[in-house]
């Protein structure tokens, strides 16, 4: 990972990502507190609706933005998205109605859906070496994990001296810092096929989706996205219910269980560069997807155990889910980079962004609305979804193709 960070351009971009994610983490905490302040009796409903709107923005906006902004300099797209997010963060402390939250969250997430795939498409052009790029993928995953683990702690510390609404100003500072760092970075121009005629807007918007369907090495990713979303949604939606209702523990248990999930993901992210030099992506990703299914299924029994015993077992399972989550998602960028032409990287990453979040759009409501069958039943349903998705990915991904691609990458 040190080699990747030795590149000045990537180092600035990574720092921009970390600062922006720290701001996003503060916004997550602040949004929950704001929803409770506006409607204490239906704060979960407000947050659930906002979360669904976030996924809709991710799914719908990313491919459209990639097509609409394909001819603009990527630096301008990244900075513009940060500026939009900054403005929304500054507006959130002043809302007084739930519908205002919904509108602002849609705008904020639409900007994020523009920023993230564009950012992902820049990194392969900045880091052309395969090992450096793999390290960058792990660092990116690590940045997301640090945001999930450390941002709530930072928010708790800030709340000792500032009001909840002031956290949104911390979010704005994060987006401002990200924009300044992107401006200070020399970003390579887009790689475009020189003689390729410009396609109509609609065709360009659908192009990334077609890449996934038509490229054999990318098809398994479609199923693996669902495996991650099924296990991840159960963790993120039901942890508070498990900790407070099933285990009878306090708020601190919620944070510790989520931290265990983040710690597992961080461990996998740190280990993957070395692992992927020796083991093909197919074995790593399919094995990790199977781990997600098994850990989620075992959670059905763990939630029935009392107190500390149940908490320890759930913590171990959440740690395992974190490992599987990261080990499936982190190598995806390698497969996309290897499987599509350089000029198609931006629409391919945009399609992955939308397709993966479409899976979350499906599993988040399932994890929340299946409460009538109980926590064990919900866990088994989502574990079944993860298991089926893993089997589909295994069928779509011939071992010879994966091993040949990995052998070629090792020879580069």
CATH of the domain at 279: 1.20.1250.20
Residues 273 and 157 in one domain: no
* 7-33: b (≥16 Cβ within 10 Å) or e: bebbebbbbbbbbbbbbbbbbbbbbbb
Residues 216 and 363 in one domain: yes
Q: Is there a domain that residue 87 lies in?
A: yes
Report the pLDDT value the prediction gives residue 404, as an integer from 0 to 100. Answer: 47
Residues 184 and 212 in one domain: no
Report the pLDDT value the prediction gives residue 192, as an integer from 0 to 100. Answer: 53
pLDDT, tens digit (0-9, with 9 covering 90-100), for 335-352: 888 877 777 776 777 778
Lowest model confidence (mean pLDDT) among 79-93, 231-245, 293-307: 231-245
Q: What's the total number of domains in the chain?
A: 2
Lowest model confidence (mean pLDDT) among 7-16, 69-78, 224-233, 396-405: 396-405
pLDDT, tens digit (0-9, with 9 covering 90-100), for 18-66: 888 888 877 876 776 676 677 766 555 565 677 778 778 777 776 677 6
Structure token pair of residue 351: 């399609």
pLDDT for 394 beyond 70: yes
Nearest 5°: the CA angle 218, 11, 19 is 90
Q: Where are the alpha helices (DSSP H) in 242-373?
A: 251-276, 281-302, 307-329, 332-339, 345-369
* Mean pLDDT over the full length of the chain: 79
If we measure between CA atoms, which residue out of 124, 149, 147 comes closest to residue 135? 124
Structure token pair of residue 410: 């090792």
Contact 248, 306 (CB under 8 A): yes
Average pLDDT over residues 124-137: 76
Helix (H) / strand (E) element for 250: namely none
- Indicate the residue among 155, 189, 223 that finishes a domain: 189
Helix (H) / strand (E) element for 45: namely helix 43-68
pLDDT, tens digit (0-9, with 9 covering 90-100), for 188-214: 776 654 444 444 445 555 776 777 777
Q: Is there a domain that residue 196 lies in?
A: no
Q: Is there a domain that residue 203 lies in?
A: no
Q: How confident is the model at residue 324 (pLDDT cuts 50, 70, 90)?
A: very high
pLDDT for 154 beyond 80: no
Number of helical H runs and strand E runs in the chain: 16, 0
Lowest model confidence (mean pLDDT) among 154-163, 270-279, 282-291, 370-379: 154-163
Report the pLDDT value the prediction gives residue 407, as an integer from 0 to 100. Answer: 40
Report the pLDDT value the prediction gives residue 201, as an integer from 0 to 100. Answer: 44
Residues 103 and 138 in one domain: yes
Average pLDDT over residues 94-119: 86
Q: Is there a domain that residue 358 lies in?
A: yes
Residues 227 and 308 in one domain: yes
Contact 24, 171 (CB under 8 A): yes
Q: Is there a domain that residue 83 lies in?
A: yes
User: Who wins on pLDDT, 33 or 101?
Assistant: 101
Residues 50 and 166 in one domain: yes
If we measure between CA atoms, which residue out of 8, 77, 33, 354 comes closest to residue 167? 33
Report the pLDDT value the prediction gives residue 200, as an integer from 0 to 100. Answer: 47
Average pLDDT over residues 395-402: 70
Residues 256 and 350 in one domain: yes
Alpha-carbon distance of 12 to 9, in angstroms, equals 5
- Indicate the residue among 131, 162, 189 that finishes a domain: 189
Lowest model confidence (mean pLDDT) among 19-28, 203-212, 278-287, 360-369: 203-212
Residues 49 and 164 in one domain: yes
Q: Which long-range contacts (CB under 8 A, 24 or more apart) does 95-104 make?
A: 95/34, 95/38, 96/38, 97/38, 98/35, 98/38, 98/39, 98/46, 98/49, 101/31, 101/34, 101/35, 101/38, 101/46, 101/50, 102/49, 102/50, 102/53
Q: Is there a domain that residue 202 lies in?
A: no
Q: Is there a domain that residue 197 lies in?
A: no
Q: Domain range holding 146? A: 1-189
Lowest model confidence (mean pLDDT) among 125-129, 161-165, 397-401: 397-401
Residues 223 and 131 in one domain: no
Report the pLDDT value the prediction gives residue 228, as an integer from 0 to 100. Answer: 94
pLDDT for 320 beyond 50: yes
Average pLDDT over residues 281-298: 94
Residues 119 and 262 in one domain: no
If we measure between CA atoms, which residue out of 338, 255, 329, 348 comes closest to residue 289? 329
- Indicate the residue among 157, 189, 221 that finishes a domain: 189
Report the pLDDT value the prediction gives residue 379, as an integer from 0 to 100. Answer: 93
DSSP string, 131-189: HHHHHHHHHHHHHHHHHHHHHHHHHHHHTTTS-GGGHHHHHHHHHHHHHHHHHTS-PPP
Residues 178 and 61 in one domain: yes
User: Who wins on pLDDT, 409 or 358?
Assistant: 358
Alpha-carbon distance of 234 to 375, in angstroms, equals 9
Residues 213 and 148 in one domain: no
Report the pLDDT value the prediction gives residue 195, as an integer from 0 to 100. Answer: 43
Q: Is there a domain that residue 265 lies in?
A: yes
Query: 3-class SS at 96?
Result: coil
- Cβ neighbours of 71 (radius 10 Å): 9
Q: How confident is the model at residue 409 (pLDDT cuts 50, 70, 90)?
A: very low
pLDDT for 177 beyond 60: yes
Q: Please report, rounded to a whole number, the percentage of residues in the chain having pLDDT higher than 70.
A: 79
Q: How confident is the model at residue 89 (pLDDT cuts 50, 70, 90)?
A: very high
């Amino acid at each position: 990972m040190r080699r990747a960070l030795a590149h000045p351009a990537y180092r600035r971009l990574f720092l921009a990502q970390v600062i922006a994610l720290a701001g996003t983490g503060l916004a997550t905490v602040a949004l929950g507190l704001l929803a409770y302040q506006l409607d204490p009796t239906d704060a979960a409903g407000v947050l659930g609706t906002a979360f669904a709107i976030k996924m809709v923005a991710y799914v719908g906006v990313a491919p459209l933005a990639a097509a609409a902004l394909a001819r603009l300099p990527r630096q301008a797209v990244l900075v513009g998205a940060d500026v939009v997010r900054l403005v929304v963060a500054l507006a959130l402390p002043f809302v007084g109605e739930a519908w205002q939250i919904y509108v602002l969250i849609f705008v904020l997430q639409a900007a994020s859906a523009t920023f993230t795939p564009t950012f992902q498409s820049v990194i392969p052009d900045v880091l052309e070496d395969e090992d450096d790029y793999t390290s960058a993928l792990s660092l990116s995953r690590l940045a997301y994990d640090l945001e999930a683990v450390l941002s709530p702690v930072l928010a708790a510390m800030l709340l000792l001296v500032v009001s909840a609404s002031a956290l949104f100003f911390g979010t704005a500072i994060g987006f401002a810092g990200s924009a300044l760092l992107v401006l200070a970075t020399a970003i390579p121009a887009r790689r475009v096929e020189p003689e390729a005629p410009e396609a109509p807007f609609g065709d360009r918007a659908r192009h990334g989706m077609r890449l996934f369907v038509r490229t054999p090495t990318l098809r398994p990713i479609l199923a693996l996205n669902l495996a991650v979303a099924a296990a991840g949604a159960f963790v993120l939606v039901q942890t508070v219910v498990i900790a407070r209702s099933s285990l009878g523990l306090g708020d601190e248990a919620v944070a510790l269980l989520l931290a265990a999930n983040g710690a597992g993901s961080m461990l996998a992210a740190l280990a993957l560069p070395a692992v992927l030099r020796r083991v093909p992506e197919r074995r790593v990703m399919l094995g990790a997807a199977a781990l997600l299914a098994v850990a989620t299924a075992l959670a059905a029994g763990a939630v029935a155990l009392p107190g500390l015993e149940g908490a320890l077992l759930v913590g171990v399972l959440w740690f395992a889910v974190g490992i599987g989550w990261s080990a499936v998602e982190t190598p995806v960028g390698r497969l996309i980079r290897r499987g599509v032409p350089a000029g198609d990287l931006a629409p391919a990453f945009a399609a992955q962004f939308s397709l993966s979040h479409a899976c979350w759009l499906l599993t988040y409501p399932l994890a929340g609305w299946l409460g009538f069958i109980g926590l064990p039943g919900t866990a088994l349903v989502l574990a079944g979804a993860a298991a089926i998705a893993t089997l589909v990915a295994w069928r779509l991904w011939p071992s010879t193709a994966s091993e040949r691609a990995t052998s070629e990458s090792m020879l580069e």
